[in-house]
Each structure stands twice: as structure tokens, then as C-alpha cells.
Chain A
Amino acid sequence: MVNLKINNIPVSVPEGSSILDAARLAHVEIPTLCYLKNVACVGSCRMCLVEATGARGLVAACVYPVSEGMEVQTNTPKCRKSRKVTLELLLSKHKKKCLSCERNNNCELQRLSVEYGADEDRFEGELQNTPLDDSNPCVVRDNDKCINCMRCVAACKKQHVGAIGPIGRGFHAHVGSAGGVQLKDSSCVGCGQCVVACPVGALTVKSNIPEVQAALEDPAKHVVFFTAPSVRATLGEAFGLPVGTNVEGKMVAAIRRLGKCSVFNMDITADLTIMEEATELLNRIQTGGVLPMFTSCCPGWVRFVEQTHPEMIPNLSTCKSPQEMFGGLLKTYYCEKNNIDPKDLFVVSVIPCSAKKFECKRPEMNGEVDVALTTRELARMIKTAGIKFTELPDEAFDDPFATCSGGGTIFGATGGVMEAALRVAAKTLDGKFEVVDFPEVRGTNPIKEATYKVAGKTIRVAVASGLENAETVIQSLQSGEKKYDFVEIMACPGGCVNGGGQPTLPDSVRNNVELRDERAKALYASDKQNKLRLSSETPVIDCLYKEYFGAPNSHKAHEVLHTSYKPDPRV
């Protein structure tokens, strides 16, 4: 351990720690812009400059290692002046359209400028005047707001996508794609990790709020909302509630108050996905099909396979994602049952994800989901409608898609799809199998492996979240080093709870709270409280198979609930 003092407060930290790490233990906050825990640490923005004994001049706290007896001062006139000038220089080339910026009141640059009293007019400066890139169905880039902190570049590289990088030099340096192509022509998979990493409003997710508002106003439209498992675990953050608060009841109540609509639970089609996927897996095992089978519920991951590893397409489960299964179900079964013309049904999914916006526009999906709305967009709609979220009563989802199993709920966290599938697969193979908890596949470790023996069969599984880890799994499979039967992949590190459409929290929270763990806990708690733990126990699932699909993987199920993929190699 190394002993040092931060603002005269003694702390002990492991060797190799940075001054920033040590300051956290001393409960001292050092401002950062380019640093983001687990994502970026390059020391380029110069916001975290501090005075330290033994160092020449000011040093960047995020990268400067501690040493024995070091005394650090973070709040001297020299530090404050340096940070203020840095901010003023950044502001001199920043498009200051704060009032109409999506990140207004939730912007790191704005917050620090206020805290340090930076004068936005001190340096005249100049804008780069780059055109807005809204070519991509998920992510919008406005480089005139970019402060070149490169957090998005680090996030994209960490995703093993590398669709963006720094281009050019000097004043003209900017973030973009190779060859200067637009985002739509890059290798972007739409995961949105760049958006949640961005400290300012340079990266946003494309908004579909006007379409939803128009549908709610249209008397001819029958509007249906359904919410993805992880949204209930994060929506509260947008209204100041602590990270990890489950707001399911208030979320349903709020959506109902947006206009005339039905509110359904997407956990139901998570359950349905499990029925189809577990059946597909057992079929593949029994008939010598292509193994390992990869999950296909994550559209960012599916896109990654199509673009970077098209040779693995046969390994992808043919199951649609829960979002698209619900879309299919609503525009067929639900319309038939309620005598609604599918053209009059307007389906809105509320999802934690930016890639789902791309997914619902895929031609194979036939527009079954009209709009995919992120958690952030839903929060914004609730605020615009003047709904006092925290004062709402708890309300229940609408029938018939209200009651789900705990297996459906945990879909929102890494390992959740695997666990839900294992519950059903094990029970199918061995009717007496009673275990429902599979702790080996839980948690935010990058890659989790386990082997289960059921009814004399051995099933080898792996779970990875974050595309960097997905790449490692693919490499180990292709080199023959590893052998699995079933692999769950979610593109975002930690799964959907950490998706690109989730509320953006300031670095002061992100750098100190393990977001993914806290949010996932809310889902696992809900699963534990649920009397139904197996997707196959969900009453409406039973009814759907009896009334409509016959059996999992039936011809009808294939028509409505399955899809296909096509290679689209990109560098």
C-alpha cells in the first residue's frame, strides 16, 4: 500500500493507483472530461490537473501514479485557473446551443463551466462547421458540439467495432469514420455505447418521439406500448431516484397517462423467446445441428456477426428478439383476436437500446414494431406531458400480456437469457429438475463459463457481454481452444441494463457507482419475488401455444417468431 495525502487527508491506496483513485477514497472530487471508468483513461483533456509534491508543474490526476509520502492539492488557485482556461478554450469552439440541446442540464461541460465560472465569450474562437451526421438509424453526431475528449472512440474500440476514430490534426482534428464516410456506411452496430460515454451533446440517439405523439393523437390508431425488462430498473434515474430502483408500477402508470393506449410487459415475449430458443437448442443438440448456438436477442450483436463474422451466421439462433416477437404477435394474434386491422395498430416498444431502432426497420421484420423508443425518450415524453412521475401510484400492466416469469425479467442483465433458457431446458430434459438459480452465469465478469449435467447430457455454456469479449469467445471457438453448446452474447458491457438508450448519468456517478451491478440487482430481486420462475410456467405462454402456435418451433411459430440473417461484411 502507498500512503499519501489528498488535500491534507491521509489515504492508503494500492501501488499503481492514480491520484484520481486516491482522491475518491478521500471523498474529494476531481473534475474529469476525457476520463471514464472502465472506458477511457488517456489524460488528454487537462481538466483533472492537480498539484503534487515531486511533480513538475500540474499533473493529470487520472493518469499520474501515486507515490509514498506524496502530498496532493486539488483546489489551489493554480488548479482552478488552469481548469477555467481549459473550459474557456473548449467553449470557444463549442456550438453553444445549450437551450435546445438534448443534454441541457445533463452536460459535463455545462456543469463544470458553471462550477468554475468559465466565461463562454472570453475567447472568440471558431466553429468547425461540420455537417450533422444523421445518416445512421440509431446514432446522430454533431461534431460542432464535440470537445474531442475521445471517450466515444475509446468506447467504440472497446466494443471491438472501431467505427470511429480521430481524423486530421490541429484545429481540424475531429472524430469520424475512416475515409470520411458517414456513420451509416461505417462498421457501426448501433450499440450506442458512444452516446452514453459522451459528456456533451455531440452524440445522441435519433428521436422518434414525434411519431409516437402523432399516433397517440390519431383517433384511428390503436396504440400499444410494451416495455423491455431493464427499463423498469433505470427509468427512475431520469427522475432523480437512486440507481437500481425498480419503478415498474410507476412506469406503467406514466405511460397510461400519455394518451389512450394499452401497456404490455415485454418480459412475456422474453419468456416466449426462451420457449423457442430452448427448443431450438435441444433440437440442434439432438439432431446434430450447428453448435454452439448463439443467442440472437441483441440487435447490436446480430449486426456485429453479419458485419464482422458472417461465417458465424449459422450459429445464430433463428429466434427473433423479444421486441420483434412482440411486434409479430401483436400484428397477428392480437389483431385477429381483437378484430383490429393491423394497419391501425401502432406498436411502440420501450427499450434500453439504440440498436433496436435499426432492428425494427430491418426489412425482414415487416415493420411489425412501428417505433422503438429509448428509456431516455420515454422519460422525456413523461416530462413533456407534465406527469409527476415520483408521485404516481403503482399500476399493473394490461392483460393479456401482464404476468411474466422471473426468467423473462432477468433478460435485461448479462447472463439472464442463459439462466432463463437453462431453467426451461433443464426442466424439459428432466421433469424432476428443481434448480432454478444458476449463479455461475450471473454477474458482470466479462466472460462466464459453466458446464451442466442434465438427464445424462452435458451442456457447456458461455456468457459474454461487451463485443470485445464476444470477439474473444469467437476467437477461442475458431481456434478450437474452447467448445460450447450454447453462448449468450449481449453487445453492451453488463447487458441491456447498460444499454445505449439508458439514462445518461454524469461521470461523478459513473466513475463511482457500479451502474451495471446496481441496475441488474433490481431485476434479480424482481425474479426472486416472482412465484413463476420458469418461462414455461407463464400462463399466457401456455395459452399462446394452445390457441395459436401449437408448439414451440412449429410452422406457425417459425412464420411469426423466427427470422434470418444476411452477411454484410464491413471493415
Chain B
Amino acid sequence: MKQCEANCAACESLGTPEQEAKLHAVIAESKSTPGCLMHILQEAQAIYGYLPMQVQKTIAQELGIPLSEVYGVVTFYSQFSLTPKGKNRISVCLGTACYVKGADKILQEVEKQLGIKCGECTADGLFSIDSCRCVGACGLAPVMMIGEEVYGKLTPDMIGKILDEHREASK
């Protein structure tokens, strides 16, 4: 889907025809089940990678609930994102074990190298950074994940090389 940078309320695009068709299908399928909003939002995020305002509006309209209610759920759960994610989704663990092993410095280094803040996505769409709380690999602390890959026992000077590898692989 063409990214609307500000994810503004005025943007009326629902992405590619395939994405739009998928979204309508998901809503139609679950609409009559009570409490279907969470499921629909999860599916919608899988289709778009995040939850653009126009997608939330469509869901609100088709379910007959206020947009403010949909937005409230989206902003409550950390699994939902209002901003697009990169091709390579970086997740730096800030859980207790990683934190005492200097995870904050790892996060700072990733932010510095990519020139974006945690929660943002690079202009070329290659990388996005998020933080998480414990990936269950405390023995490897500090840890970060890129996609499904886990990197452990990190030091700030290792970050550049790891990012380059992913940049190369994405070409």
C-alpha cells in the first residue's frame, strides 16, 4: 500500500485492490460474531502491516461502531501499530535482563545508525524499530530481533554490520 506518511484522517486509500478485497472479506466473515473487533484488527494488520486510519474507518463503518471505539482499542494494545513497519522489523528487548546488560545503548545505536526513533520507519521502508519486553532469551542478553532472527550478546559496535547484512539481503 502506498504509504501516507502522516497516516492522516483525510487519506482515503484502502491500498491495492487485493488488500481492499481481503479486508472486506475479513470483516464480512467475522462481522456477526460478538467481540469480533480484535480479530478483525489483527487480520487487518496482517494485510497492511499496520492500521491506517482509513482501514480503521472502514472497520468502524462496517461494524456500525464509532471510529473512536476502534481507535481506542488500537491504541490500547501494543500489538497494534498506527505507523507502517519496515521490511526488516527490528525489535530491541528492553526487559530487565537485557536492560541491565546495556540494552538502552543497543537501542541508541540502532536509532543512530538508521536516523529514526523507536516506533518509526525509515523513509526507504527497509527498517523499523520497536522495543519489546523479553523474548525469552535472557541468557543471551542483550538481545534484539530482526524479523524472526534473534541476535544475542550484542555490543553497540556489532550493530552496523548486522544492519548492513539485512540491507544487502533486501536488495
Q: Is B88 an interface residue (CB 8 A)?
A: no
Residues in A whose Cβ lies below 8 Å from that of B69: 157, 162, 165
* A186 vs B53: C-alpha distance when bound (angstroms): 13
Q: Chain B residues with Cβ under 8 A from A169's Cβ?
A: 75-77
Q: Is A164 an interface residue (CB 8 A)?
A: yes
Stretch at the interface among B54-62, B122-130, B131-139, B156-164: B54-62
B66 interface contact, C-beta 8 A: yes
Is residue B140 contacting chain A, with contact meaning CB distance below 8 A? no
Q: How far is the CB of B41 from chain A (nearest CB, A)?
A: 14
User: A435 at interface (Cβ–Cβ under 8 A)?
Assistant: no
Residues of A within 8 A of B8 (CB): 179
Among the interface residues B7, B9, B69, which one has the most CB atoms of the partner chain A within 10 A? Answer: B9
Known contacts A169-B75, A571-B60; A162 and B68 CB within 8 A of each other? yes
Q: Check B71 against A165 for contact (C-beta < 8 Å).
A: yes
Task: Tell whether A157 pairs with B66 under 8 Å between CB atoms, given A178-B71, A179-B71, A571-B61.
Answer: yes
Supposing A162-B68, A162-B69 touch, asked if A167 and B75 sit within 8 A by C-beta, the answer is yes
CA distance A178 to B57 in the complex (A): 9
Q: Does any Cβ of B come within 8 Å of A288's Cβ?
A: no
Q: Which residues of B contact A164 (CB under 8 A)?
A: 68
Most chain A beta-carbon contacts within 10 A, residue among B7, B56, B67, B68:
B68
| Contact residues of B: prevailing secondary structure | helix
The reply on B72 being an interface residue by CB < 8 A is: yes
Interface range for B: 10 to 19
| Complex CA–CA separation, A197 to B66 (angstroms) | 19
- Asked if B9 and A165 make an inter-chain contact with CB atoms under 8 angstroms apart, the answer reads no
Collect the chain B residues with CB atoms within 8 Å of residue A571's CB.
57, 60-61, 67
Which single member of B57, B65, B76 contacts A162 (CB below 8 Å)?
A: B65
Across the two chains, which residue of chain A brings its CB closest to B8?
A179
Q: Is B70 an interface residue (CB 8 A)?
A: yes
The proximity string for A residues 339-370 relative to B, scoring 1 for CB distances below 8 Å and 0 otherwise, is 00000000000000000000000000000000
CB distance from A159 to the nearest CB of B (A): 10
In the complex, A177 has a CB within 8 A of chain B: yes
Residues of B within 8 A of A187 (CB): 66-67
- Indicate if the CB atoms of B76 and A178 lie closer than 8 Å: no
Interface size on A, residues (CB 8 A): 21
Chain B proximity of A189: nearest CB distance (Å): 13
User: What's the minimum C-beta distance from B70 to chain A, rounded to whole angstroms?
Assistant: 7
Q: A178-B56, A179-B9, A185-B9 are in contact. Are A168 and B76 (CB under 8 A)?
A: yes
Residue of B nearest to A169 (CB): B76
Residue A166 CB within 8 A of the other chain:
yes
* B68 interface neighbour in A165, A168, A173, Cβ under 8 Å: A165
**Residues of B contacting A178 in the complex (Cβ-Cβ under 8 angstroms):** 9, 53, 56, 66-68, 70-71
Q: Which residue of A lies closest to B56 (CB)?
A: A178
Expressed in whole angstroms, the minimum distance between the Cβ of A553 and any Cβ of chain B is: 38
Beta-carbon contacts under 8 Å, B1-58 to A: 7-9, 53, 56-57
Minimum CB–CB distance for A471 against chain B, Å: 10
B66 and A162 contact, CB distance less than 8 A: yes
Q: CA A185 – CA B67 in complex, angstroms?
A: 13
Note all chain B residues with C-beta closer than 8 A to A179: 7-9, 53, 71
B93, chain A: closest CB distance, angstroms: 20
Nearest B residue to A168 by beta-carbon distance?
B75
Does A422 belong to the interface (CB within 8 Å)? no
Given A571-B57, A571-B60, do A177 and B68 touch, yes or no (CB 8 Å)?
A: yes
Residues of A within 8 A of B72 (CB): 165-167
Say yes or no: A163 contacts B68, CB within 8 Å: yes
In the complex, the chain A residue whose C-beta lies closest to that of B7 is A179
Contacts of A99 in B (CB 8 A): none
Complex-state Cα separation, A71 to B132, whole angstroms: 48
A153 to B72, CA, bound (A): 11
Which residues of A have CB within 8 Å of B76?
Answer: 166, 168-169, 173
Task: Indicate with 1 or 0, residue by residue over A178-197, a CB within 8 angstroms of chain B CB atoms.
Answer: 11010001110000000000
- Min CB distance A127 to B, Å, is 20
What distance in Å separates the Cβ of A203 from its nearest Cβ neighbour in chain B?
15
Name the B residues within 8 Å of A153 (CB-CB): 68
- Closest Cβ of chain A: how far from B114's Cβ, in Å? 25
Closest to A157 in B: B66
Contact digits for A256-274, partner B, Cβ 8 Å, 1 yes 0 no: 0000000000000000000
Chain B residues lying within 8 Å of A165, measured Cβ to Cβ, are 66, 68-69, 71-72
Min Cβ gap B58→A in Å is: 9
Which residues of B approach A to under 8 Å, CB–CB? 7-9, 53, 56-57, 60-61, 65-72, 75-77
Besides A571-B57, A571-B61, 15 new A-B residue pairs in contact (Cβ under 8 A), listed by A number = A153-B68, A157-B66, A157-B69, A162-B65, A162-B66, A162-B69, A163-B66, A165-B69, A167-B71, A177-B68, A178-B9, A178-B66, A185-B9, A187-B66, A571-B67
Chain A residues close to B by CB (< 8 Å):
153, 156-157, 161-169, 173, 177-179, 181, 185-187, 571
Sample (5) of A-B pairs whose CB atoms are under 8 Å apart: A162-B68, A169-B77, A178-B56, A178-B66, A185-B9
Sorted from nearest, which 9 A-B pairs have the closest CB atoms?
Answer: A162-B66, A165-B68, A178-B71, A165-B72, A178-B67, A178-B68, A166-B72, A571-B67, A179-B9
